[in-house]
Amino acid sequence: MRLSSLSVRNVWRNRLRALLTVLGIAVAIVAFVLLRTVLSAWTVGAEASAKDRLGTRNKVTFVVPLPKRYIETIRQVPGVVDASYASWFGGKDPRHENEFFASMAVETKTLFSVFDELVVPPADRERWLNNRKGALVGDVLAKKLGWKVGDTVTLQGSIYPGDWQFQIEGIYSSTRKVVDRSSFFFHWDYLNDSLPEGSPQRDRIGWVTTRIRDPLQAGAISQAIDRAFDEQEIQTLTMSERAMNLSFLGMVSAVLKAIDLVSLVILFIMMLILGNTIAMSTRERTREFGVMRAIGFLPHHIALAVLIEAIVIGGLGGGLGLVLSYPLVERGMGRFIEENMGSFFPYFRISEGTAVAALVLALLLGLSAGLLPAYRAARLNVIDSLRRAG
Amino acid sequence: MNSSPQASPSGSDRGAASDIAEHARPTTAESIISLRGVRKTYFRGKEPIHVLQDLDLEVPVGGYEALMGPSGSGKSTLLNLIAGLDRPSAGSLLVAGADLGAMSDSQLARWRANTIGFIFQAYNLMPVLTAVENVELPLLLTKLSASERKRRAQTALRIVGLEDRMHHYPRQLSGGQEQRVAIARAIVNDPQVLVADEPTGDLDRQSADEILTLLERMNRELHKTIIMVTHDPAAAERAHITRRLNKGQLI
Ligand SMILES: Nc1ncnc2c1ncn2[C@@H]1O[C@H](COP(=O)(O)OP(=O)(O)O)[C@@H](O)[C@H]1O
Ligand SMILES: [Mg+2]
């Protein structure tokens, strides 16, 4: 027998109380893991973006497009392998009003060389390239909305008003996990040619994605591209795909910070609750501490016994919380989120860092909850605690 | 966890021992407990309560003494002073060769672990530990190996006749058995002095007699000096001497 086994057994002394406390911590840990995963999923797309790709957009704002002729200039910049442009369409399937997915008009002939992670059966690919009204959709989106190759789909445009008809010609998947498999790609030419002569939206492109030969040259090439348009009316801003994705994140960083704070506040509240529980259970055992002190145990032994008890509870809650988190976050919520919000969270999984942080925080939670009760138990007056009834 | 070693004398303890030698006064060689002018005053607000007043006491090595007196007369207070749990307001206590007044709190704790065995009225066993584990508890403060601790705990339980209840929890034992486990816990460190505060107060006659017989054996066979507070005249009769405490003084 050891002093630590005395602590461990005291944890289970009041089964119901121990169980509820451990469950409470577990729930707080699940909440922490979930919120953390939202945070890390939000950045993982950005972090895992291709290192050999640059994005070029309007220097002032995302919303105002670039002249189409810019693409030719960009292709001439040394170090550029290929470039592809696209415009945000922002369409909706009226039969699925509440489903959000990314719809984009893309330059078809360069799409696959710039986005080499896209996987499409060769026959589908041929048909899509040859059909001006053809659409290429992600497998996750197709499955969710029940689309098959050959279907005709009508999207309602918001930026480009009206009903737009497409034939689904191909379904893509991806070689990399972090790619959004819920996007809707169609021919930029179809969009452009449908716009009335003289429309300000004609011959405009939303952004250009560039593949470069050497990722180490990303900075220099970005500068070279932007310099090429220095004297133009519309200037550009070029950055790595990663930086571009992160700049999207910048817009929601306040929300992310709030989520971050909430996950810590939950743990703090749980610490106070655990502290109260430990204080209560040690107070009930005042007399036992008095006996131990009489026998010759020192104040630090008593403090240690209480701390071990608190840390064991914290660890059990943390472990249970983590065990519950995987099915809840990954299988339940994660799948739903990947399917429905794939363009924001292409990869919604618990990271190793989150799991370790959850466990460490649970242990720290136990430790800090135990500090005050441990201090008080250690300072008990021996005679007084022995006189205490019960 | 490595519980710190307390039982074996460390350097500082030896230092304390030489301090004690300086403070020592001549006593008869056979006296194991020697109290001079001990006073204990509690304060209830500003009003002093003189629980013990100028109390002298000599207990010979191997003595078995009963301490009687009305409730609130200071019996437990006196016992706690002798056991080094409390400090006097004035006077000196020399117990088992140590001048208690000259020792720090942690020195006193170590000294208690080595020298005093406690037996309480309410047994005070740890409910989450089995009988043998309860007996082993004081040994956690020693450097003994786990197997040696266990062996000694089992031996102590055998001495009190409970080897067949080793793995029972306190709630699975009768009051008399619980008190026997407590006695085993008190002797497992082989202390020189046992202090018992109304050890039979919660027991029926038959169990009480068993406990008293056991204490008698501890005194006779294991040569423990025993100070026992009791209300029970039958219990006091088993002791060599019965002292009475009244109004803070021994009569
Ligand atoms: N911590 C304390 N504060 C104030 N009074 C105390 C304290 N401890 C004991 N007393 C008082 O000292 C007296 C003696 O108590 P005690 O030694 O427990 O008596 P006994 O054991 O003989 O019944 C009682 O009047 C009690 O109320
Ligand atoms: Mg008393």
In the predicted model, is pLDDT for residue B166 greater than 70?
yes
**Ion ligand 2 nearby residues (CB, 5 A):** B 76
Pocket test residue of B76, B82, B244, B245 for ligand 1, highest count of atoms within 8 A of CB: B76
Which three-class secondary structure state does DSSP give residue B198?
coil
Q: Which residue has the higher pLDDT, B195 or B3?
A: B195
Query: Which structural domain range is residue A162 located in?
Result: 65-233
For residue A58, being part of any structural domain is answered with: no
| Predicted complex ipTM | 0.88
pLDDT above 90: residue A240 = no
The predicted model gives A111-131 an average pLDDT of: 94
A87 and A211, same domain (yes or no): yes
In chain A, what residues touch B80 (CB-CB under 8 Å)?
Answer: 383
Output the CA torsion sign for B238, B242, B247, B249. Answer: negative
Residue A238 belongs to some domain of the structure: no
Does the beta carbon of B115 sit less than 6 angstroms from any atom of ligand 1? no
Q: What is the pLDDT of residues B82-135, one digit of tens each?
A: 999 999 999 999 999 999 999 999 999 999 999 999 999 999 999 999 999 999
DSSP B134-179: HHHGGGGGS---HHHHHHHHHHHHHHTT-GGGTT--GGGS-HHHHH
Residue B74 beta carbon below 6 angstroms from any ligand 1 atom: yes
Flag if B83 and A294 touch (Cβ within 8 Å): yes
pLDDT value at residue A132: 95
Q: CA nearest A288: which of B129, B65, B71?
A: B129
A and B: number of Cβ contacts within 8 A: 71
pLDDT tens profile A276-285: 999 999 999 9
Best CA proximity match to A358, nearest among A133, A34, A73, A61: A34
Between chains, do B120 and A291 touch, taking CB under 8 Å as contact? yes
Q: Are residues A210 and A271 in the same domain?
A: no
Same-domain status, A357 and A224: no
pLDDT score for A43:
72
Extents of the domains making up chain B: 62-84+104-250
Please answer yes or no on whether B112 and A296 come within 8 Å at the CB atom: yes
The amino acid at residue A46 is A
A317/A347 same-domain check: yes
- List helix spans (H) across A251-351: 253-284, 286-295, 299-325, 335-340
Alpha helices in chain A (DSSP H): 3-11, 15-47, 70-76, 108-114, 122-130, 139-145, 188-194, 218-228, 241-250, 253-284, 286-295, 299-325, 335-340, 352-378, 382-387
| Percent of chain B's residues with pLDDT above 90 | 84
Taking domain B62-84+104-250, whether its CATH number is 3.90.1530.10 is answered by no
Tell me the HSE value of A120 on the side-chain side, using a 13 A CA sphere: 26
Q: Ligand 2 mean position to B75 CA, how many Å?
A: 6
Q: How far is CA B114 from the centre of its chain?
A: 11
Of ligand 1's listed atoms, the one at least distance from the Cα of B197 is 21
Instruction: Give the number of other Cβ atoms within 10 Å of residue A124's Cβ.
Output: 17
Q: Are residues A262 and A226 in the same domain?
A: no
Q: CB-based contact (8 Å) between B6 and chain A?
A: yes
Query: How high is the mean pLDDT of chain A?
Result: 89
Residues of B in contact with A288 (CB under 8 A): 124, 126
Q: Is B247 in the pocket of ligand 1 (CB under 6 A)?
A: no
Spatial distance between the Cα atoms of A172 and A125, rounded to a whole number of angstroms: 9
Q: A36 with A156, same domain?
A: no
Q: A179 and A213: one domain?
A: yes
User: Looking at the domain assignment, is residue A220 inside a domain?
Assistant: yes
The alpha carbon of B148 is separated from its chain's Cα centroid by a whole number of angstroms, namely 24
A contact test, residue of B116, B123, B126, B135 with most A CBs within 10 A:
B126
Q: Cβ neighbours of residue B216 under 8 Å, at least 6 residues apart?
A: B64, B238
- Is pLDDT above 60 for B239? yes
Instruction: For ligand 1, say whether the CB of B42 is within 6 Å of any of its atoms.
Output: yes
B135: chain A residues, CB-CB within 8 Å? none
Does A37 share its domain with A113? Answer: no
pLDDT at B224 over 60: yes
In a domain, A59, yes or no: no
Euclidean distance between the first and final Cα of chain B, in Å?
A: 49
A286 inside 8 A of chain B by CB: no
Q: Is the CB of B75 under 6 A from ligand 1?
A: yes
Q: pLDDT digit string (tens) for A305-339?
A: 999 999 999 999 999 999 999 988 877 777 776 66
- A10 CB near a chain B CB, below 8 Å? yes
- Mind listing the pLDDT tens digit for each residue in A145-170? 999 999 999 999 988 999 999 999 99
Pocket test for ligand 1, best of B43, B44, B49, B245 (most atoms within 8 A of CB): B49
Among A200, A233, A266, where does a domain finish? A233
Residues of A in contact with B146 (CB under 8 A): 1-2
Query: Which of A314, A327, A388 lies closest to A358 in space, CA to CA?
Result: A314
Give mean pLDDT, residues A230-257: 79
The pLDDT value given to residue B144: 95
Return the sign of the alpha-carbon dihedral for residues B152, B156, B158, B164: negative
Rounded-to-integer distance, Cα B195 and Cα B245, Å: 16
Q: Is the pLDDT of residue A42 over 80?
A: no
